[in-house]
């Protein structure tokens, strides 16, 4: 069949979009036939495809040329608020303090270290930006590594335990395949060792002689763990572990105690962990708890006081292959005596997860968490998310009331209630003693608090804190006293005052009556309220509504320098915490995936309507924003309620989801079936996805659709460029005011380098301001 458009008709024009040639093919599954006019755009090596993408890009840039001064202004504002020459707070590991610094005019960070003053040196130096660091040793300058490349990303960075060698793995194409090298830090030269096509996350074993790394299969799934010995060719590397089930991703790591090497693997619904004593890196890994379909768990090695885990203090016997006889009285623990345990966070018969403690299984044995000691019980209102252990404390991570939280338990001295706010839930308890985790809070209704556990021996915590109005702050937290000392707050140049801004939580009502949280932030003097304490602005404000809603990913309060340019022009920024995310617990996720996926889209629409109906904004003053799975969200919402939005910003959008899920040869498809369903083999899943996927459901006449900007990257391996390219082509053919901006040398995360990233943000924000008639502000 001849093309609907000849190649000459696709030349860019400032008046009309470069309509894409129609080359229809029939796609038939389960008795349903769909005519796909634009699948030919998938052929990345076809010159016609490249020409069409370049034509779309040229047209988009021409359409946006009038915004060039605004883009430059926005870029200058981001740059002007950012301390370009800066340093991170150092973190200690072994005999060194490690940090990264940036230099004005350079795109990438520089990694460096200085030697610790002694074994009791646990307080990082206060480093002044731009000032020389006494005793600094340069480890890796990413700017040097990136020279001569349009794209650069660092996938692995690790230093051997003896501090003598640096492992680094880099990607210069954007396809997430990294070349691994090892540097001698005494000479600054790379060793002959080189391994190509690795996945991120390579690491040294504690002996410093062996490296464990991952490789991916044809679907870009990490599935193999390899062991490399320094000084030997990559062809001699040993395959340590292989996971043939295409649903599972594999990772490798080291326990914080450095006692165990760990292999962790998981699908979207099932996981499994394997352990190996780290002093025997060439040994065989053993499974901790054999996988059970639908059961997820993580493992953390801890050393606890014996009094906390002795059988005499437990309501259930610990999980042992041969448990002690009930007739044998336990021996009382001696003062200072400790026990090695595994803290296992799992969801077997515990929707929001529970935390159990079990002795470390001997070789050939496994644990049974169902009969292990319950350390933190399941709570329907608290989603347990993780636990970290050190020599002196445990930190529990959880979510309550759509807010992430952290709590600490001292293993040396209990933290008194007068020193920190007691956690409302959960608690770690046995019949004879109660281990009370103490919640770390800064007293804000919308805040993000994360307690970072450093190395095993570290006596204190680093606590990160931010909100929508508070720049990211890092505190040194004394576990024994509860004292907090501010180490660093993200500098915001130009006289930023958090008191000029406000934040709030709203609740929308979904179609089925579910209450959906919405977070809002705005500049006080730009959004006028008629009376003190009013629930909404006196007149509708321009508003950017962001959403994601997949993979149980939660969008917590966070500070953003680029966002200030929008707030200062009167835009309200809002986040719709829709189902499919994890903000309200595991059930919140389950109610927005598979056959409940439509809830994600209708929740977003409900949030937009709530904000319009209550006077926060109006349909002609609201832009929807989402990236990746969030791009699917805003694409589906556009089809459902095109009249609700003035514009839609879709970054690397997963808008051709049904086509992707029907092709198991595509990257990540099989691993995604547990999230979206398997339309290839299940006709009901096919019909359900067919009913909501954005590409197939564009209206025949889409001239009433809002303005749409889709952005993507040619080398994206997660959401292929073809998805937004096809979507925009179909939208344009149906009369929608849609455009495509594509980076021809970037991956899923977009362009590399901070200045290039700022330019991309400025482009998108200028478009948003133009849609909202604020381009002249």
Report, as residue numbers or ranges, the catalytic residues: 628, 716, 748
C-alpha 775/C-alpha 392 separation (Å) is 54
Residue found under tokens 């959403």:
547
* Helix (H/G/I), strand (E/B), else coil: 190: strand
Spell out the residues 6+ positions from residue 741 whose beta carbon is closer than 8 angstroms to its own.
57, 60, 61, 709, 710, 711, 712, 763
Count other C-beta atoms under 10 Å from residue 733's C-beta.
20
Do 241 and 275 contact (CB within 8 A), yes or no? no
* Total residue count of the chain as it appears in this document: 777
From residue 476, alpha-carbon distances to 15, 91, 459, 461, 487 in Å are: 58, 11, 10, 6, 6
Q: On the CB side of 386, how many CA atoms lie within 13 Å of its CA?
A: 10
In the block, residue with structure tokens 């889409």 = 702
522-530 LR contacts (CB < 8 Å, sep 24+): 522/567, 522/571, 522/572, 522/573, 523/567, 523/568, 523/570, 524/500, 525/500, 526/567, 526/568, 526/569, 526/570, 527/570, 527/572
Helix (H) or strand (E) holding 158, with range, is strand 153-159
Q: What residues pair up with 501 in beta bridges, in sequence order?
A: 523
Q: Does a cis peptide bond (omega within 30 degrees of 0) precede residue 426?
A: yes
How many CA atoms, within 13 angstroms, populate the side-chain half-sphere of residue 90?
A: 23
Distance CA(19)–CA(44), nearest Å, equals 18
The alpha-carbon radius of gyration of the chain (Å, integer) is 27
Secondary structure of residue 568 in the 3-state scheme: coil
Containing 93, the helix (H) or strand (E) segment is strand 91-93
Residue with tokens 């003896």: 162
Label residue 502 left, alpha or beta by phi (over 0 means left) and psi (-120 to 50 means alpha): beta
CA distance 19 to 5: 8
What are the residues facing 545 on neighbouring strands?
574, 624
The dihedral region occupied by 572, where left means phi > 0, alpha psi between -120 and 50, and beta the remainder, is beta
Give the Cα separation of 339 and 107 in Å (integer).
48
The continuous run of DSSP H or E covering 690 comes out as: helix 683-690
User: Interior CA angle at 547 toward 543 and 552, to 5°?
Assistant: 155
Here the tokens at position 714 are 């040619």
| Cα-based angle 90, 96, 100 (whole degrees, multiple of 5) | 35
């Amino acid at each position: 069949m001849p093309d609907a458009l000849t190649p000459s008709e696709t030349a860019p024009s400032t008046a009309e979009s470069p309509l894409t040639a129609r080359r229809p093919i029939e796609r038939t599954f389960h008795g349903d036939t769909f005519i796909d006019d634009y699948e030919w755009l998938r052929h990345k090596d076809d010159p016609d495809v490249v020409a069409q993408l370049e034509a779309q890009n040229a047209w988009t840039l021409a359409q946006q040329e009038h915004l060039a001064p605004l883009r430059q202004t926005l870029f200058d504002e981001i740059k002007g608020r950012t301390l370009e020459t800066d340093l991170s707070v150092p973190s200690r590991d072994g005999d060194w303090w490690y940090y990264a610094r940036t230099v004005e005019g350079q795109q990438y960070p520089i990694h460096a270290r200085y030697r610790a003053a002694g074994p009791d040196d646990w307080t990082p130096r206060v480093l002044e930006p731009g000032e020389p660091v006494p005793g600094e040793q340069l480890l890796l300058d990413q700017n040097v590594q990136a020279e001569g490349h349009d794209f650069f990303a660092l996938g692995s960075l690790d230093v051997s335990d003896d501090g003598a060698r640096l492992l680094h793995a880099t990607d210069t194409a954007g396809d997430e395949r990294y070349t691994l090298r090892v540097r001698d830090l005494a000479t600054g030269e790379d060793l002959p060792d080189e391994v190509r096509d690795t996945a991120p996350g390579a690491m040294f074993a504690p002996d410093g002689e062996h490296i464990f790394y991952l490789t991916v299969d044809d679907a870009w799934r990490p599935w193999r763990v390899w062991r490399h010995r320094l000084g030997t060719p990559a062809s001699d590397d040993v395959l340590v572990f292989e996971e043939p089930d295409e649903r599972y991703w594999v990772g490798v790591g080291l326990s914080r105690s450095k006692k165990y090497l760990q292999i962790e693997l998981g699908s979207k619904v099932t996981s499994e962990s394997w352990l190996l004593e780290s002093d025997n890196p060439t040994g065989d890994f053993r499974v901790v708890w054999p996988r059970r379909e639908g059961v997820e768990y993580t493992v953390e090695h801890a050393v606890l006081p014996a009094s906390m885990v002795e059988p005499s203090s437990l309501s259930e016997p610990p999980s042992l292959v041969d448990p002690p006889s009930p007739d044998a009285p336990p021996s009382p623990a001696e003062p200072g005596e400790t026990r090695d345990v595994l803290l296992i966070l799992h969801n077997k018969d515990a929707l929001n997860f529970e935390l159990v403690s079990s002795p470390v299984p001997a070789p050939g044995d496994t644990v049974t968490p169902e009969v292990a000691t319950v350390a933190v019980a399941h709570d329907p209102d608290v989603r347990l998310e993780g636990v970290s252990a050190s020599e002196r404390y445990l930190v529990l991570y959880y979510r309550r009331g759509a807010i992430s939280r952290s709590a600490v338990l001292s293993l040396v001295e209990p933290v008194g209630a007068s020193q920190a706010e007691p956690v409302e839930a959960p608690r770690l308890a046995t019949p004879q003693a109660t281990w009370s985790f103490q919640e770390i809070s800064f007293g804000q209704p919308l805040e993000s608090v994360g307690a970072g556990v450093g190395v095993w021996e570290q006596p204190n915590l680093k606590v990160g804190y931010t909100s929508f109005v508070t720049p990211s702050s890092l505190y040194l937290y004394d576990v024994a006293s509860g004292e907090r000392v501010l180490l660093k707050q993200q500098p915001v140049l130009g006289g930023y005052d958090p008191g000029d801004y406000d934040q709030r939580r709203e609740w929308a009502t979904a179609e089925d009556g579910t209450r959906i949280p919405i977070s809002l932030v705005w500049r006080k003097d730009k959004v006028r309220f008629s009376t003190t304490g009013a629930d909404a602005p006196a007149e509708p404000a321009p508003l950017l509504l962001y959403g994601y809603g997949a993979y149980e990913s939660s969008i917590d309060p966070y500070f953003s320098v680029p966002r200030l340019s929008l707030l200062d022009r009167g835009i309200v920024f809002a986040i719709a915490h829709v189902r499919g995310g994890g903000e309200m617990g595991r059930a919140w996720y389950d109610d927005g995936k598979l056959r409940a996926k439509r809830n994600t889209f209708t929740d977003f629409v409900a949030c937009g309507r709530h904000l319009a109906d209550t006077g926060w904004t109006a349909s002609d003053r609201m832009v929807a924003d989402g990236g990746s799975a969030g791009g699917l969200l805003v694409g589906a919402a556009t089809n459902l309620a095109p009249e609700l939005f003035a514009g839609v910003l879709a970054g690397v959008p997963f808008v051709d989801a049904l086509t992707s899920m029907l092709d198991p040869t595509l990257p990540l498809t099989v691993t995604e079936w547990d999230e979206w369903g398997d339309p290839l083999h299940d006709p009901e899943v096919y019909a359900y996805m067919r009913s909501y996927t954005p590409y197939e459901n564009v209206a025949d006449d889409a001239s009433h659709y809002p303005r749409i900007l889709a952005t993507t990257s040619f080398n994206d391996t997660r959401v292929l460029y073809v998805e937004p390219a096809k979507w925009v082509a179909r939208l344009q053919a149906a009369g929608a005011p849609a455009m495509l901006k594509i980076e021809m040398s970037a991956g899923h995360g977009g362009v590399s380098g901070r200045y290039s990233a700022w330019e991309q943000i400025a482009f998108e924000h200028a478009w948003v301001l133009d849609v909202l008639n604020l381009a002249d502000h």
